[in-house]
Amino acid sequence: MINVIAAAGTAVFAAGGEEEMPSVLAVPIDELIIGIIAFLIVFGGLAKFALPSIKRTLEERSDAIEGGIERAAKAEAEAKSLAEDYRAQLAAAREEAATIRTQAQADRAAIIEEARAEARTAAAQVTAQAEAQLAAERNQATAALTRQIGELAVDLAGRVVGQSLTNDATVRQTVEDFIADLERQAAGSDA
Amino acid sequence: MFDEVAKFTIVGMEFHITKVTIVLFICVALILGFFIYAFRKPKLVPRGAQNVGEMGYLFIRDGISRDIIGKDGDKFVPFLFSFFFLIWLSNFMGIVPFAQIPVTSIFAIPVAFALIVYVTWVPLGVYRQGFKGFFGGMLFPPGVPKAMYVLLTPLEFLSNLIVRPATHAIRLFANMFAGHLLIATFSIAAFYLISPSIVGILGSAASFTVAVALTGFEALIQFLQAYIFTLLTAVYISGALHSEH
């Protein structure tokens, strides 16, 4: 088997040249250097002209993707906090409305109460005034009547006695006293 | 070994330009041309050549560099990338019509590549771990009874510093050389066996079929060997970057 392959190998390479076959494991220095140069050209060219740009692009891409994810997360957090704010505001507004309603109810009751009290006071005042006026008028009437009754009584007594009692100072004093007495009595009963 | 196309001398050294040299530099030109074109103005949303090139880049970066070395291996991606694609294309030339020679089946070429890797990871290890740390960790692995060092140290020395670069080069060379020989053997057989007889026609047809099948198989081996070479390079660099224990 080995012989066959070796023979085939010889046949392949014999086609190339007539001189004696060098060993396949020979390493001619010039081929070695050419191999090294070939690699260095590829390495230098790729490392300088091709790979930095793609490396940068890949980094930018992963940045963009990671940035996008980050942005989305940020937006979500923002939306969440905004919703939270709105909810809080809504709750606060609701609470405020309730407070206002309660306050309004309280106010209404107070206003009604106040109005009622005012009305009551006004009514009482009116009543009191009317009563006072009534009393004053009655007093006046009583006083006037008493005086008239006194004068009538003196007049009547004078006619009965047959002489004018008005001219005599003593009688006149008595009559005056009587009338005053009457007036006092009237005032006393009135009080 | 091959017909000489040209010959020139630089500082007293003769350079023989052969078919292999030409094919090798065609590979160099193709790789540089394609990737510089593909990555000339990379877009955030890739299309066309950039898409293909990016697949290659991510294969090396994520599949080899980050997997083996880790995140700090990112600065070695161009190194690994160059090796992978240069070797793959060089291997691939074995089944490209008219080229039909895997450049890496010329022993000097894998030796050149393995040598570059060797003179990269050894100084790198010394630089990162210090002379004592690097060679100490390599030759005197901790957690071993002291007496064992008598046996272990020469073995570690041999395996890490001598056998490792040799196998690195020979693995690639031997695979490509063997594959090339197989395809060549059956192709030649198909050609030489042909004759106006039943044996001739059947033999020739069978050889041709095997040659075609082997070409498909070689396509797989070519990729695999380029991958293995690059993977091992990453492993060596990783060992140089991180102390093993």
Tens digits of residue pLDDT in A64-91:
888 888 889 999 999 999 999 999 999 9
Instruction: For residue B6, give the 3-state DSSP assignment.
Output: strand
Whether B236 and chain A come into contact, CB under 8 Å, resolves to: no
CA A114 centroid distance within chain = 29
Backbone dihedral angles phi then psi of residue B53, each to the nearest 5 degrees: -60, -40
- Which residue of A lies nearest to B21 if distances are taken between CA atoms? A34
Contacts of B44 in chain A (CB under 8 A): 57, 60-61, 64
Output the pLDDT for position B3. 75
pLDDT score, position A161: 74
Percent residues over pLDDT 70 in chain A:
83
Give me the pLDDT at residue A67, please: 86
> Which residue does chain B place closest to A58, by CA atoms?
B44
Is residue A183 assigned to a domain? Answer: yes
Q: Is A31 close to B109, i.e. CB distance below 8 A?
A: yes
Which position has the higher pLDDT, A163 or A26?
A26
Q: What percent of chain A has pLDDT over 90?
A: 45
Query: pLDDT at position A19, please?
Result: 55
Chain A residues in contact with B185 (beta carbon < 8 A): 4-5, 8
For B26-76, the pLDDT digits (tens) are: 999 999 999 999 998 888 888 888 889 999 999 999 999 999 999 888 999
ipTM of predicted complex: 0.92
Q: Is residue A138 assigned to a domain?
A: yes
- B13 interface with A at CB cutoff 8 Å: yes
Is pLDDT at A5 greater than 60 in this prediction?
no
The nearest CA of chain B is from the CA of A44 a distance in Å of 9
Rounded to 5°, the CA angle A38-A44-A47 comes to 135
Nearest to B237 by CA among B124, B137, B119: B124
3-state secondary structure (DSSP) of residue B15: strand
Total domains in the fold of chain A: 1
Give the dihedral sign, CA B70/B73/B74/B76.
negative
Examine residue A86 and state whether it is found in any structural domain, yes or no: yes
Nearest to B55 by CA among B37, B78, B32, B38: B38
Instruction: Tell me if the pTM is above 0.90.
Output: no
B42 contact residues in A (CB cutoff 8 A): 53-54, 56-57
pLDDT in tens, B192-214: 998 889 989 999 999 999 999 99
Distance separating alpha carbons of residues B50 and B36, to the nearest angstrom: 10
Cα B50 from Cα B29, distance rounded (Å):
18
Helix (H, G, I), strand (E, B) or coil at A46: helix
**Considering only CB atoms, which chain A residues are within 8 Å of B50?**
54
**pLDDT: which is higher, A187 or A108:** A108
Can you name the residues that pair with B10 across neighbouring β-strands?
B13
- Contact: B86, A38; criterion CB under 8 Å: yes
- Residues of B whose CB is below 8 A from A67: none
Q: Closest by alpha carbon to B227, among B83, B78, B76?
A: B83
Is a pLDDT exceeding 80 seen at residue A2?
no
Please say if the pLDDT value at position A175 is more than 90. Answer: no
Q: What pLDDT is attached to residue B244?
A: 63
Residue A64's Cβ-side half-sphere holds a number of Cα atoms within 13 Å equal to 9
Range of the domain at A52: 30-190
| Interatomic CA distance for residues A31 and B103, integer angstroms | 11
Residue A13 sits at the vertex; the CA angle it makes with A12 and A15, to the nearest 5 degrees, is 80
- In sequence order, which residues have a C-beta less than 8 Å from that of residue B92 and are 6 or more positions away? B102, B219, B222
Cα–Cα distance list, B114 to A53, A78, B22, B165 (Å): 28, 57, 21, 6
- Token reading at B67: 């997997």
The tens digit of pLDDT for each residue in B91-122 reads 999 999 888 899 999 999 999 999 999 999 99
Shortest Cα–Cα distance, A52 to chain B (Å) = 9
How does DSSP classify residue B106?
A: S
Strand (E) or helix (H) holding B61? none
| Domain ranges (residues) in chain B | 54-241
Sequence-distant (≥ 6) Cβ neighbours of residue A10 within 8 angstroms: A21
Interchain contact, A41 vs B28, CB within 8 Å: yes
Chain A residues within 8 A of B16 when measuring between CB atoms: 28, 30-31
Say whether pLDDT at B11 is over 90: no
Distance of alpha carbon A172 from alpha carbon A175, whole angstroms: 5
- Are residues B108 and A45, on separate chains, in Cβ contact within 8 Å? no
pLDDT digits over B182-194, tens only? 999 999 999 999 8
| Interface-testing mutation among A5, A31, A66, with chain B (most B C-beta atoms within 10 A) | A31
pLDDT for A14: 44
Please answer yes or no on whether A55 and B40 come within 8 Å at the CB atom.
no
With CB atoms and an 8 Å threshold, state whether B116 touches A39. Answer: yes
From the list B22, B17, B18, the residue with the least C-alpha distance to B2 is: B18
Asked if the model's pLDDT at residue B216 lies above 60, the reply is yes
Handedness of CA A163, A164, A168, A170 (dihedral sign): positive
Q: How confident is the model at residue A43 (pLDDT cuts 50, 70, 90)?
A: very high
Query: How many whole angstroms separate alpha carbon A92 and alpha carbon B10?
Result: 91
Instruction: Render pLDDT for A122-131 as a digit per residue (tens, 0 to 9).
Output: 999 999 999 9
